[in-house]
Amino acid sequence: MEKRVLGRTKHHSTLITLGCAAARPDDIKEVDSFINLALDRGVNHVDVAPTYGNGRAEEILGKWIKEYRNNLFLACKTTMRTKAEATKELKRSLQRLKTDYFDLYQLHALDDPEELRIALSENGVIKAILDAKEQGLVKYIGITSHNPENIVKALEGFDFDTVLLPVNYVLHAHPEPQNDYEPVLSIAKNRNLGVIAMKSAAKGPWLTEEKPYRTWYQPFHTQKEIDEALWFTLSQNVTTAASASDIRVAKMMLDAAERYTPMKKEEQQQLLLKAAKYTPLFPRNMA
């Protein structure tokens, strides 16, 4: 699988990041099989959060991190917004994941401007992460958000090393300030920030009660659709794309990444025309 440099971290990340929201405790055999498959295919960037499965995802992943630590770029996250809360959570995540340090630690799901203000304040989470960095517990600092406008504000207040945000052709076909990722990608290019894309396989919000996939959005679910969606995302100014929380979709994303070739502009335009009939996932009030 192709690798790209994750900005100033200089890590060569695979086109797919192992998104560990798929690490669910109700079927450990299936989860272990998927993690083993991803690692066998060379995936070297892992993303997890303590909110995934209320901590169970970290516990499930721990044995894999312990065995493969030297070969993996390990990214974790926190939804805590204050220094005290974040310090406690960071140490607990280290224990669960059986590691001495994180390659990347991210302020997670910072969609709200007020939460961003608190996070970057004197007693905010950013102070906990900076302390952890001084102690050698964290190498690089990132931010994740579904709201590109908030990421731009965050980058004005702190020099993050990476950004994680939705980069998706359906969003691009329905541009709104709250889903337009282009300004963030432009800043990232100018500052040499690593860009981790999420929701690349998202078709839109669920529009029916029936939800046959373990994703909180309606995913594309055929190999052809996922090929198109992922190849579009990877043809933008991104480093890597996180795999979906549904293992069936994630496996198809792995397969698509292994066969990736840059998508021509004409092909991208055809996709955007097709997406005109879809409902974009963001902003959420459009659903």
Res 207 pLDDT > 50: yes
Res 87 pLDDT > 60: yes
Give residue 195's identity as a one-letter amino acid code.
Answer: V
Quote the number of domains for the chain.
1
- Report residue 28 as tokens: 């450990």
Tell me the mean pLDDT in the region 158-179.
97
Instruction: Classify residue 268: in a domain, yes or no.
Output: yes
Res 127 pLDDT > 50: yes
Query: The CATH number of the domain where 121 resides is what?
Result: 3.20.20.100
pTM of the model: 0.96
Instruction: Classify residue 134: in a domain, yes or no.
Output: yes
What span, in angstroms and rounded, lies between the C-alpha atoms of 84 and 110?
A: 18
Tell me the mean pLDDT in the region 150-172.
98
Tell me the mean pLDDT in the region 13-23.
95
Res 105 pLDDT > 60: yes
Angle between helices 56-68 and 28-40 (to 10 degrees): 40
Long-range contacts of 170-173 (CB under 8 A, 24+ apart): 170/202, 170/203, 170/204, 170/275, 170/278, 170/280, 170/281, 171/280, 171/281, 171/282, 172/232, 172/272, 172/275, 173/271, 173/272, 173/273, 173/275, 173/276, 173/278, 173/280
Of 25-29, 49-53, 279-283, where does mean pLDDT reach its minimum? 25-29
Instruction: Classify residue 284: in a domain, yes or no.
Output: no
Instruction: Classify residue 193: in a domain, yes or no.
Output: yes
Q: What is the pLDDT of residues 223-272, one digit of tens each?
A: 999 999 999 999 999 999 999 999 999 999 999 999 999 999 999 999 99
Instruction: Classify residue 28: in a domain, yes or no.
Output: yes
Q: What is the pLDDT of residues 110-126, one digit of tens each?
A: 999 999 999 999 999 99
* Domain that includes residue 269, residue range: 3-279
Instruction: Classify residue 287: in a domain, yes or no.
Output: no
What span, in angstroms and rounded, lies between the C-alpha atoms of 48 and 21?
A: 7
Give percent of the chain with pLDDT exceeding 90: 95
Res 285 pLDDT > 80: no
Instruction: Classify residue 111: in a domain, yes or no.
Output: yes
Contact between residue 158 and residue 123 where contact means Cβ atoms under 8 Å apart: no
Res 19 pLDDT > 80: yes
Q: What is the pLDDT of residues 186-202, one digit of tens each?
A: 999 999 999 999 999 99
The pLDDT, as a whole number, for residue 286 is 41
Residue 16, CA distances (Å) to 13, 101, 179, 251 in order: 8, 22, 22, 11
Instruction: Classify residue 285: in a domain, yes or no.
Output: no
